[in-house]
């Protein structure tokens, strides 16, 4: 996602129906690849007794903390800098932070009891 943020907003900026369609399809492919592995990774990060609670609290808590203000930050960036590239930089930065955090989390070891 970090690498795709700038081409994505460049394609959206063309205002061509075909370019926007291509950008959206590419985004959905990348999103599906990330989301598919994310579900298994989160589930394997907790022991079976607390798996649902741990996964739910972590996932929903992150959605509230990071996902809640993201549209407001994006709007502020766009209004301040008058370009989608500011939003792309924000998206790339958040994706990079997520990648670094995932790297330091390491590989989960399934704990089945």
pLDDT of residue 112: 62
| pLDDT exceeds cutoff 90 at 101 | no
Query: What does the alpha-carbon distance between residue 59 and residue 96 come to, in Å, rounded to a whole number?
Result: 18
pTM to 2 decimal places: 0.81
What is the maximum span of the chain, computed from C-alpha positions, in angstroms?
54
Per-residue pLDDT, 61: 92
pLDDT digits over 12-56, tens only? 999 899 999 999 999 999 999 988 888 888 888 888 899 899 989
């Amino acid at each position: 996602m970090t690498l795709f943020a700038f081409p994505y907003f460049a394609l959206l900026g063309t205002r061509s129906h075909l370019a926007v369609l291509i950008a959206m399809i590419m985004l959905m492919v990348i999103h599906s690849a990330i989301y598919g592995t994310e579900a298994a990774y989160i589930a394997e990060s907790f022991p079976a007794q607390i798996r649902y609670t741990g996964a739910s609290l972590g996932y929903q808590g992150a959605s509230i903390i990071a996902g809640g203000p993201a549209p407001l930050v994006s709007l502020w960036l766009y209004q301040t800098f008058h370009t989608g590239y500011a939003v792309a930089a924000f998206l790339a930065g958040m994706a990079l932070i997520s990648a670094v955090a995932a790297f330091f989390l390491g590989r989960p070891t399934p704990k089945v009891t």
